[in-house]
Amino acid sequence: MQFEHLGARPRIHPGAVVAPTAVISGDVTIGEGCQVLHGAVLTAEGSPIVIGENVIVMENALIRASAVHPVHIGDHVLVGPMASVSGATIGDEVYLASGSRIVNGARVGEGSLVRVGAVVHVKTTLPPRTVVPLGWVAIGDPMRLLPAADAEEISAAREELDFPGYVFGLDRSAPDYMTQLTERYGAALARHAADRRVD
């Protein structure tokens, strides 16, 4: 299913294949030879998504651009089932395994492998040909690789990166943080009420 969102329609190369149950919304460009499988969602929420050539987006993967964080995915990339890319840049020949998460402002260098359940955190730069082990967290710039069991160090690094400030423009310590977050984000998402199906 394809939708016009905020006046922009998806642009899909005639040599790409998009499953009928995939959702492509807004300013999304999909290159030649791409395969977007069932249940995948590519949604441009104010910034563009550009997918290179010969990219495979597997079942139930989510690729999302925010109003201030576009997505760019290079050529010959595999985005695994239930993987998530949010407002990030992915180099050529990258493998994002099942359930991996790439967060706003992250940059994944060419030839990298992000294994099952691993996370590349907000504003993190992964050098080319980096392997993030199964369930581990890549965080910061310069990047540190941490096992999920190292919760204290991950939490400390997350505080430095200020996820709520960077992604939502909010101060997590505000007493009404969740009220502000849900009202502001909800208002932005409500813009989908005017979307039109275009396929």
Give residue-wise pLDDT tens across range 91-148: 999 999 999 999 999 999 999 999 999 999 999 999 999 999 999 999 999 999 999 8
Residue 62 β-bridge partners: 41, 84
d(CA 21, CA 1): 6
pTM for this predicted structure: 0.89
Provide the residue ranges of all domains of the chain, joining segments of one domain with +: 2-197
In which band, very low, low, confident or very high, does the pLDDT at 85 lie, cut at 50, 70 and 90?
very high
The yes-or-no verdict on residue 157 having pLDDT over 80 is no
Is it true that domain 2-197 has CATH number 3.40.950.10?
Answer: no
Contact 15, 35 (CB under 8 A): no
pLDDT of 75 strictly over 90: yes
pLDDT score of 19 more than 90: yes
Question: DSSP 3-state assignment of 163?
Answer: helix
C-alpha 76/C-alpha 53 separation (Å) is: 6
